[in-house]
């Protein structure tokens, strides 16, 4: 027995014909006629641009020596679409196009539409809305970003890289950007401590890993530290010597690609480490090190001009000097089995994705629908949890206990 569509008026209609008509309707809605010789189609994972004018643009082959016939079709991944805007007569699409092996830069295309057709204008408006839905999914659009620039980062090139590689992408994505340069060590701690967490969605550091460290600790100093660390995303845009945070979270050391990842990013929980030293409590991320690894980093701060080579140089100097670092270490293991660690991680990731999915289906404002702002942390609404949560195993001054006690 053939299944029927719920609103089919004719019970004897050929289902194959009905499905074919539905497919034609879908293709028609997914395709926008953007001029005499251009069509824009929303594909599975890319925007397909068919434009006869591409054929007129020069192209080279054979090591760039011989002219070649240009293609009339381009595919732009939805991930690379930054924005689309529509006026009465023009449609403009801004996107990130690859340059070199790992970088991207802003490009745009503009098409003139027929202003006399009301139907075409309405179709174009709906098509643009669908394009932005595909481009951003559950990611928040037009993020409000507080940008901190360490002018000494990347051997003094951080400000230049921001202006050249990062800012154009943020502007093209219609993000609200507030830029501030740090003036001294610990300045980012003060900025983050005083920041209005309702005014920003992201704090982005154009620096190495030091500035995000300061940002985390600044947020941790707030009276509502728990809320602040949940609500404001912390991002590193790789403009420093060591860019471990960007490598680990964005998978790149490219400033422009990291900016694109941030624009399209979804807020994701990150485990932080709490370290105590005397009466001082420090929040850390990625890793903590003692001995030769720590001294290699801290002890080469005066030769930052060497770039990442300073770490190799510092390590070899200390290795050949046979430096000794005496210490006593006491460890209490929370989860010892690797399989149990994986299971714990998977359970929390699934819970987070489930919350995002629920939020994306319930939000009513697609431009600032806040699945990014979903609270996926445990319920800690008691007064004691307004600041940082208490340490489960005490501080460095707490007495250590023998294993098993």
Active site residues: 209
End-to-end CA distance of the chain: 69
CA angle 49, 51, 52 (to 5 degrees): 155
> Which whole-number Å values give the CA distances from 263 to 6, 101, 246, 287, in the listed order?
41, 20, 14, 26
Strands 59-61 and 66-68, by their bridges, are antiparallel
CA distance linking residue 54 with residue 39, whole number of Å: 12
> Which whole-number Å values give the CA distances from 348 to 128, 338, 378, 389, in the listed order?
35, 16, 11, 19
CA distance linking residue 332 with residue 350, whole number of Å: 27
178: closest CA among 152, 211, 201, 155? 201
Handedness of CA 202, 203, 205, 210 (dihedral sign): negative
Q: Report DSSP letters for 326-376, one per residue.
A: --------S---HHHHHHHHHHHHHHHHHHHHHHHHH---TTT--GGG---
211: closest CA among 180, 241, 186? 186
CA distance linking residue 190 with residue 198, whole number of Å: 17
> Which whole-number Å values give the CA distances from 66 to 22, 63, 268, in the listed order?
46, 8, 48
């Amino acid at each position: 027995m053939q299944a029927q569509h719920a609103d089919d008026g004719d019970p004897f209609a050929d289902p194959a014909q009905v499905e074919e008509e539905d497919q034609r309707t879908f293709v028609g809605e997914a395709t926008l006629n953007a001029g005499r010789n251009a069509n824009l189609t929303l594909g599975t994972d890319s925007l397909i641009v068919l434009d006869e004018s591409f054929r007129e643009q020069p192209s080279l082959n054979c090591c760039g020596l011989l002219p070649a016939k240009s293609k009339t079709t381009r595919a732009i991944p939805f991930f690379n679409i930054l924005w689309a805007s529509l006026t009465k007569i023009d449609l403009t699409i801004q996107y990130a196009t690859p340059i070199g092996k790992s970088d991207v830069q802003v490009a745009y295309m503009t098409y003139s539409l027929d202003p006399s057709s009301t139907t075409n204008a309405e179709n174009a408006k709906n098509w643009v809305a669908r394009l932005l839905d595909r481009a951003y999914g559950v990611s928040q659009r037009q993020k409000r970003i507080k940008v901190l620039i360490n002018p000494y980062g990347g051997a003094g090139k951080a400000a230049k890289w921001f202006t050249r590689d990062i800012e154009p992408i943020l502007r093209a994505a219609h993000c609200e950007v507030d830029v501030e340069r740090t003036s001294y060590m610990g300045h980012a701690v003060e900025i983050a401590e005083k920041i209005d967490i309702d005014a920003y969605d992201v704090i982005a550091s154009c620096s190495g890993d030091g500035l995000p460290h300061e940002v985390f600790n600044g947020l941790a100093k707030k009276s509502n530290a728990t809320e602040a660390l949940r609500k404001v995303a912390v991002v590193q845009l790789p403009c420093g010597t060591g860019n471990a945070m960007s490598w680990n979270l964005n998978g790149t050391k490219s400033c422009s690609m990291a900016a694109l990842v941030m624009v399209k990013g979804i807020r994701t929980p990150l485990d932080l480490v709490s370290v105590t030293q005397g009466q001082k409590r420090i929040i850390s991320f990625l890793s903590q090190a003692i001995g030769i690894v720590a001294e290699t980093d801290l002890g080469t701060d005066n030769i930052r001009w060497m770039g990442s080579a300073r770490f190799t140089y510092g390590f070899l100097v200390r290795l050949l000097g046979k430096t000794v670092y005496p210490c006593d270490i006491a460890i209490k293991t929370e989860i010892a089995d690797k399989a149990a660690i994986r299971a714990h991680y998977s359970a929390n990731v699934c819970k987070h994705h489930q919350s995002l999915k629920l939020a994306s289906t319930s939000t009513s404002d697609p431009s600032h629908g806040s699945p990014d702002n979903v609270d996926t942390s445990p319920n800690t609404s008691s007064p004691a949890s307004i600041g940082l949560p208490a340490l489960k195993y005490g501080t460095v001054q707490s007495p250590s206990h023998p294993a098993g006690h």
